[in-house]
C-alpha cells in the first residue's frame, strides 16, 4: 500500500529541499513573522525568541528544539473509534468546507442554508472515502444568532449527525460574542471531551490558517493557544497567492510559506510540547488577468508538492492536496483540475486532506453532485496507489494460467476469479457500457443525473447515529432549537 512514497521527488529533489530549508532559516532569523497577539509574543519572549514589536524572529536552535517535540503520528479519539494520522497510514479526508454558496442540481446558485449543511453532513457520514465530517457551511442566514455564541451550535451539529471525528474551524469574533476566542476554543474542545467522555486525548482536529505574507491574526492565534492548552491538534496552513501575498516566483512562495508554517508550529510546541500538529499548505497561483486565486492551476500542484517534500524533511504530518477547481460547475474543467490536485494527496502520499470532495470556484461554491463525483476520483487514486501486486509467488501462479490458456485461448471459466475482484476497481458512477451510445445514454442518463440519483438515495437512506441519553442531553445544551432531541 502506498508504494509511491517519494512521488514528490519528481518535482523537488533532496538538494532542492535543503536549499528551501536554508533560505527558510534566513527568513525566520532575518525577516521574522508577525504575531498579532500579546500572549503569543510573551510565549516567544519567554523561550528566547527575538521579539521586535509584533515581529518574532526564530533562530535555528529554537526551531530544531520545537521540531523535536512534534509527534510523527497521532490519533484522534471518539467514543466509536480511533483515526490515526501520519506517514504510515493512508491519507485521512474531510469534505467540502465552508463555502458561502452552493450550486444545485437545477444549475442555480444560492446562499447555503442550515438544511444544506445538514445534507452535506449526511453525505459525509455515508461516504466510504470520507474520514472526518465538518460544517460545509458556516453562519448560515437561517441560523439563530440571538445568543452570543452561535458557533457551538454549529459544532454540535457534527456530533448529532455523525459518529466520525470532526474537523473544525477556528471560532471568530462574529460568532462567539461575549467571550475571548481562546476561551471559545477551549469550550469547543471541552464539548467534545464531555460528549465522548475522553478527557486526556485528542478528540478533534482544527484548521488554523496563517495571514500571508508572514503573519498570524489574533483570532487564529487565540484559537491555537486555547486548543493547544487543551491538548488538541491543529493544522497550521498557508493559503498565499503568488504575486499578491507571496512572491511571483514559485520558489519564493514556497520559502515564505515554509517560514510562516514553521513559525506557527514552533508556537504550538512552546505552548504545549508534544501537542500534535499538521504542516499544511493550499497556497496557489494568482491569475493576474482576474486578480483571483487559481487553485486549478498547475502551479498549485507544484507548490503543494514542494510543501509535501518539506514536511517529510521535518518528519511532520502533512496536509496538502484538494479536490480543487476554479470551474463553477462539475464539468470537464472541474474533473481535470480536481484529479491533478488530488494526485498530490494520493500519489504524493500526504497524511490529511481538507476539501477532498465537493468544492467549486476556488472554494467559493459547494456542490452535492461534485461531492459524489469527487468520491470516485478519490477511489480511483486510491486504486492507483495500490499499484500492481508483483511477487515470485504471484508470478508462478499467473505463469501457470498463461500456460494453461496457451496461444489464442481465453481466461473465462467458472466464477469471477478472486484476483479480478481484488485487483479491479469497478466504478459506480462513471460510464463503462459499450455498444450503441443512444440506448445507453437513454438508460443511464448523463453523469450529473447519475450523481443526483446517488445523492437522493443516500440522503433518503441516512439514519441518525445511535447516541446515548447523556450525549443527547449534552448536545441539547447547544443545538439550534429546531435540531434539539
- The verdict on 259 and 182 lying in the same domain is yes
Q: What are phi and psi of 83, to 5 degrees?
A: -130, 115
Across the range 132-156, mean pLDDT stands at 87
Q: Are strands 33-35 and 215-216 parallel, antiparallel or unpaired?
A: parallel
- The verdict on 324 and 401 lying in the same domain is no
Is 1's pLDDT higher than 80? no
- The verdict on 290 and 399 lying in the same domain is no
Query: Does 44 reside within a domain?
Result: no
Length of the chain: 485
- The verdict on 348 and 302 lying in the same domain is yes
Query: Does 433 reside within a domain?
Result: no
- Closest by alpha carbon to 325, among 315, 316, 336? 336
Count of the separate structural domains present in the chain: 2
- The verdict on 197 and 64 lying in the same domain is yes
Query: Does 45 reside within a domain?
Result: no
Please write the tens of the pLDDT for every residue from 300-337. 999 999 999 999 999 999 999 899 999 999 999 999 99
Across the range 222-250, mean pLDDT stands at 98
Please write the tens of the pLDDT for every residue from 364-395. 999 999 999 999 999 999 999 888 999 999 99
Per-residue model confidence (pLDDT) at position 298: 95
Strand intervals (E) in 320-477 = 352-353, 359-360, 365-367
Is 3's pLDDT higher than 70? no
Beta bridge partners of 75: 84
Domain boundary among the residues 333, 357, 386 is at 386
Q: The domain spanning residue 284 has which CATH number?
A: 3.20.20.480
- The verdict on 167 and 293 lying in the same domain is yes
Give the span between the Cα atoms of 285 and 239, in whole angstroms.
Answer: 10
Give the span between the Cα atoms of 112 and 108, in whole angstroms.
Answer: 12
- The verdict on 327 and 235 lying in the same domain is yes
- The verdict on 399 and 320 lying in the same domain is no
- The verdict on 372 and 396 lying in the same domain is no
CA angle 61, 67, 68 (to 5 degrees): 90
- Closest by alpha carbon to 480, among 204, 227, 140? 140
- The verdict on 116 and 252 lying in the same domain is yes
Per-residue pLDDT band for 148 (boundaries 50, 70, 90) equals confident
Give the span between the Cα atoms of 479 and 472, in whole angstroms.
Answer: 10
- Whether residue 66 contacts residue 184, with contact meaning beta carbons closer than 8 Å, is answered with no
**Residue tagged 479480478 (cell numbers):** 420
- The verdict on 138 and 248 lying in the same domain is yes
Per-residue model confidence (pLDDT) at position 146: 78
Query: Does 456 reside within a domain?
Result: no
Q: Best-predicted range by mean pLDDT among 6-20, 143-157, 286-300?
A: 286-300
- Whether residue 202 contacts residue 167, with contact meaning beta carbons closer than 8 Å, is answered with no
**Grid cell digits, residue 54:** 509584533
- The verdict on 139 and 256 lying in the same domain is yes
Per-residue model confidence (pLDDT) at position 84: 98
pTM of the predicted model as reported, rounded to 2 decimal places? 0.95
Give the span between the Cα atoms of 233 and 352, in whole angstroms.
Answer: 13
Query: Does 21 reside within a domain?
Result: no
Instruction: Show the domain range for 62.
Output: 51-386
Give the span between the Cα atoms of 80 and 471, in whole angstroms.
Answer: 13
Residue 293 DSSP SS3:
strand
Is 292's pLDDT higher than 60? yes
Give the span between the Cα atoms of 475 and 330, in whole angstroms.
Answer: 36
Q: What are phi and psi of 181, to 5 degrees?
A: -70, -30
Give the span between the Cα atoms of 316 and 3, in whole angstroms.
Answer: 19
**Grid cell digits, residue 142:** 437561517
Query: Does 238 reside within a domain?
Result: yes
Query: Does 461 reside within a domain?
Result: no
The DSSP 8-state label assigned to residue 483 in this structure reads G
Is 105's pLDDT higher than 90? no
Query: Does 7 reside within a domain?
Result: no
Amino acid at each position: 500500500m502506498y508504494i509511491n512514497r517519494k512521488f514528490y521527488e519528481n518535482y523537488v529533489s533532496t538538494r532542492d529541499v535543503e536549499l528551501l530549508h536554508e533560505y527558510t532559516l534566513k527568513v525566520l532569523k532575518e525577516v521574522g513573522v508577525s504575531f498579532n497577539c500579546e500572549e503569543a509574543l510573551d510565549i516567544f519572549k519567554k523561550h528566547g525568541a527575538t521579539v521586535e514589536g509584533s515581529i518574532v524572529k526564530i533562530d535555528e536552535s529554537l526551531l530544531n528544539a520545537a521540531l523535536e517535540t512534534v509527534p510523527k503520528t497521532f490519533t484522534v479519539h471518539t467514543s466509536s473509534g480511533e483515526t490515526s494520522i501520519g506517514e504510515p497510514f493512508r491519507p485521512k479526508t474531510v469534505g467540502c468546507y465552508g463555502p458561502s454558496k452552493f450550486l444545485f442540481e437545477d444549475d442555480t446558485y444560492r446562499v447555503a442554508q442550515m438544511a444544506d449543511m445538514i445534507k452535506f453532513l449526511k453525505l459525509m457520514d455515508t461516504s466510504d472515502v470520507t474520514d472526518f465530517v465538518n460544517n460545509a457551511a458556516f453562519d448560515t442566514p437561517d441560523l439563530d444568532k440571538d445568543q452570543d455564541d452561535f458557533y457551538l451550535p454549529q459544532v454540535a451539529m457534527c456530533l448529532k449527525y455523525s459518529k466520525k471525528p470532526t474537523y473544525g474551524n477556528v471560532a471568530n469574533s462574529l460568532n462567539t460574542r461575549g467571550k475571548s476566542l481562546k476561551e471559545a476554543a477551549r469550550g469547543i474542545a471541552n464539548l467534545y471531551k464531555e460528549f465522548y467522555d475522553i478527557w486526556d486525548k485528542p478528540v478533534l482536529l482544527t484548521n488554523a490558517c496563517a495571514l500571508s505574507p508572514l503573519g498570524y491574526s489574533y483570532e487564529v492565534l487565540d484559537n491555537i493557544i486555547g486548543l493547544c492548552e487543551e491538548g488538541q491538534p491543529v493544522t497550521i496552513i498557508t493559503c498565499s497567492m503568488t504575486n499578491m501575498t507571496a512572491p511571483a516566483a514559485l520558489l519564493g512562495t514556497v520559502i515564505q510559506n515554509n517560514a510562516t508554517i514553521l513559525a506557527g508550529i514552533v508556537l504550538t510546541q512552546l505552548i504545549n510540547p508534544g501537542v500534535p500538529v499538521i504542516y499544511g499548505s493550499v497556497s496557489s497561483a494568482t491569475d493576474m488577468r482576474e486578480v483571483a486565486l487559481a487553485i486549478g492551476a498547475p502551479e498549485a500542484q507544484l507548490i503543494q508538492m514542494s510543501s509535501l517534500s518539506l514536511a517529510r524533511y521535518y518528519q511532520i504530518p502533512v496536509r496538502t492536496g484538494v479536490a480543487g477547481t476554479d470551474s463553477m460547475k462539475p464539468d470537464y474543467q472541474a474533473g481535470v483540475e480536481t484529479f491533478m490536485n488530488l494526485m498530490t494527496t494520493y500519489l504524493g502520499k500526504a497524511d490529511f486532506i481538507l476539501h477532498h470532495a465537493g468544492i467549486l470556484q476556488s472554494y467559493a461554491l459547494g456542490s452535492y453532485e461534485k461531492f459524489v463525483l469527487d468520491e470516485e476520483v478519490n477511489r480511483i487514486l486510491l486504486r492507483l496507489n495500490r499499484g500492481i501486486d508483483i511477487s515470485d509467488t504471484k508470478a508462478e501462479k499467473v505463469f501457470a494460467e498463461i500456460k494453461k490458456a496457451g496461444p489464442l485461448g481465453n481466461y473465462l471459466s467458472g466464477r469471477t476469479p478472486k484476483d479480478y475482484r481484488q485487483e479491479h476497481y469497478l466504478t459506480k458512477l462513471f460510464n463503462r457500457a459499450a455498444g450503441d451510445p443512444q440506448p445507453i445514454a437513454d438508460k443511464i442518463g448523463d453523469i450529473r443525473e447519475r450523481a443526483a440519483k446517488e445523492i437522493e438515495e443516500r440522503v433518503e437512506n441516512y439514519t441518525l447515529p445511535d447516541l446515548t441519553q447523556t450525549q443527547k442531553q449534552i448536545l441539547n445544551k447547544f443545538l439550534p432549537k429546531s435540531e434539539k432531541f
